[in-house]
Amino acid sequence: MDSLDLNPQGQTFAVERNPRLRYIIPAVVAVAFLMEQLDSTILITAVPDIAKSLATTPVRMNLAVTTYILTLAMFIPVSGWFADRFGARRIFALALFVFTLGSILCGLATSLPMLIATRALQGFGGAMMTPVGRLILIRSFPRSQLVTAMTYMTLPAVIGPVIGPVLGGFLTTYLSWRWIFWVNLPFGLIGMAMAMRYVEDTERDETIKFDFPGFVMVGVGCVLLQYGIENVGRPTIPVWAIFLTLAAAGMLLAGFIRYAKTAKSPAVDLTLFKLRTFRIGTLAGGICRVGLNGVPFLLPLMLQVGFGLSPIVSGTLTFVSALSTLVVRPVSVKLLKLYGFDRMLTWSAIFGAAVVAGFALITPNTPHWFVILYVFIFGLARAAQFMTSNTLSYSETPAAQLSRATSLGGVLQQLSVSFGVSVAAMLLGLVTLDGSSLTPEKFHVVFLLMAVIPLFGIPGFLKLQPEDGMQVSGHQRRSGQSS
């Protein structure tokens, strides 16, 4: 597999030249993931209070969530070009600065439009921060250590989701929701200092040109697609305008597919989809993630709006989802070696769908200890699916395409988050079109509908071959053996 060698020129990796970097580099990248995850989990918990403060509705507040995620999806394609053109370390540190600045301004927002604008600034920083950080990590470790490297990176970052709901509930209840953004400041400063001190800069390529036409087609297409979905459940524009918006999005994205076939360096490298592991990991895995990503938006709303619980109680009940990651990731290497990517992805999708459906059985009378236990189980399914599909996506990507692979993979991953929230909000809007309030029963219907989505990823997972990702997983099941 010489063509798939991560280091085809025989150069040593950063962690091989300096063993200390085996832990330091994942820690540096983890700071970026920590900020992003802490920010998103804190915001979800505080949605009802922010909505009240800014004179809007909790459902409308999903715009503050999806604007950030959509900005990520729109600008992530630029990240690979910027990293190659100006150096990964410099762009990573700059991204941390922009994200931190955006966080400060979010805390100063006085209206929903202002919050949406400052969240977009955050998203621009995050668009560079997370994929470039992932690129730094992949380029620093040998292929055989990729799963371990990702585990080292995400274990420190799990602090964000663990403390996010509880911290968000505490700050919102006893101080102000504005503090949920300002807590990013110390993490941003630490991350910038560590990046400039320990991360090796990559070689710059000043000859590559930025594909502006392609970027516009992809970016505007994603924005229109998102906007159209937003208006299906709670229309703010006429029905004909919704169809026109979705049609325009489809035409732009289809136009880019045709354009990319002849472009020299397209903004999004669609040839990556010819690689089976990348195609299945990002597309089938992305479909599965859409269904699972709606839960972190729906559950706090059901607990607070449907059940009438306070933000601090809601945060206490939901924070254990992230603790599940601590259980899944240490054993992920062994599970992949035993069962391979195909079985892991298929069964985690089925398990995830069943658990999402099970939220329809939770009522205001359900004991809190059971809710905590069930949320923990959901976290197990979600972590297993996400970790496995993310690792598969880059398991056999050629070194020359890594920057574009992390960019495209990042776009699809963030779109799965955005669409997960948007579809959940759309369904909430549809079940309350008659003007009725958001009762627990309405949330139950939406959970059952969301549970169907992960199952659509299974046909893709079943197309994996036993040898797919073997270089990373170490799994060696014979081709003739049942998969």
CB 73 within 8 A of CB 415: yes
First to last CA, the chain: 23
Range in 10-24, 358-372, 373-387 the model is least confident about: 10-24
**Mean pLDDT: which of 41-50, 255-264, 299-308, 448-457 is highest?**
448-457
The pLDDT of residue 143: 64
* Residue 477 pLDDT exceeds 50: yes
Domains belonging to the chain, first-starting first, are 12-199 (1.20.1250.20), 211-266 (no CATH), 268-473 (1.20.1250.20)
- 201 — pLDDT class (breaks 50, 70, 90): low
CB 146 within 8 A of CB 20: no
Model confidence pLDDT, tens digit, residues 42-52: 677 777 778 88
The pLDDT of residue 453: 94
The pLDDT of residue 202: 64
- 359 — pLDDT class (breaks 50, 70, 90): very high
Q: At 202, list the tokens.
A: 């990559």
The pLDDT of residue 96: 92
CB 354 within 8 A of CB 452: no
- 255 — pLDDT class (breaks 50, 70, 90): very high
User: Tokens 């607070």 label which residue?
Assistant: 304
* Residue 447 pLDDT exceeds 50: yes
Task: Read off the amino acid at residue 319.
Answer: F
- Residue 180 and residue 40: Cα distance in Å, rounded? 10
- Residue 334 and residue 292: Cα distance in Å, rounded? 24
Q: What is the rounded average pLDDT for all residues in the chain?
A: 78
- Count of CB atoms within 10 A of residue 338's CB? 14
- Residue 290 and residue 396: Cα distance in Å, rounded? 24
Burial zone of 266 (CB within 10 Å; 0-12 exposed, 13-18 middle, 19+ buried): buried
The pLDDT of residue 104: 92
Provide Rg for the chain, Cα atoms.
21
- 3 — pLDDT class (breaks 50, 70, 90): very low
The pLDDT of residue 382: 85
| Average of per-residue pLDDT across 1-18 | 51
The pLDDT of residue 248: 93
What angle is formed at CA 323 by the lines to CA 446 and CA 306, rounded to 5 degrees?
Answer: 30
Widest CA span of the chain, in angstroms? 65
| Average of per-residue pLDDT across 5-28 | 62
CB 194 within 8 A of CB 31: yes
**Mean pLDDT: which of 38-47, 144-153, 330-339, 372-381 is highest?**
372-381
- Count of CB atoms within 10 A of residue 63's CB? 21
Q: Give the percent of the chain with pLDDT over 90.
A: 13
Residues 6 or more apart whose CB falls under 8 angstroms from that of 109 comprise: 54, 115, 118
* Residue 99 pLDDT exceeds 90: yes
DSSP string covering 231-274? HHHS-SS-HHHHHHHHHHHHHHHHHHHHHHTT-SS-SS-GGGGG
Give the CA count within 13 Å in the CB-facing half-sphere of 232.
17
**Mean pLDDT: which of 113-127, 261-275, 317-331 is highest?**
113-127
Evaluate the CA torsion angle 425, 430, 433, 436 in order and state its sign.
negative
| Average of per-residue pLDDT across 149-167 | 60
Q: At 435, list the tokens.
A: 């003007």
Q: Give the percent of the chain with pLDDT over 70.
A: 78
Q: What is the pTM of this model?
A: 0.70
- E strands in 67-177: none
The pLDDT of residue 352: 92
The pLDDT of residue 12: 65
Burial zone of 197 (CB within 10 Å; 0-12 exposed, 13-18 middle, 19+ buried): exposed
For 329, list phi and psi in degrees, rounded to 5.
Answer: -65, -40
- 478 — pLDDT class (breaks 50, 70, 90): very low
DSSP string covering 193-222? HHHHHHPPPPPP-TT----HHHHHHHHHHH
* Residue 7 pLDDT exceeds 50: no
- Residue 62 and residue 60: Cα distance in Å, rounded? 5
Model confidence pLDDT, tens digit, residues 213-238: 888 888 888 778 777 776 665 566 78
- 141 — pLDDT class (breaks 50, 70, 90): confident
- 357 — pLDDT class (breaks 50, 70, 90): very high
Model confidence pLDDT, tens digit, residues 391-400: 888 777 776 6
| Average of per-residue pLDDT across 166-188 | 80
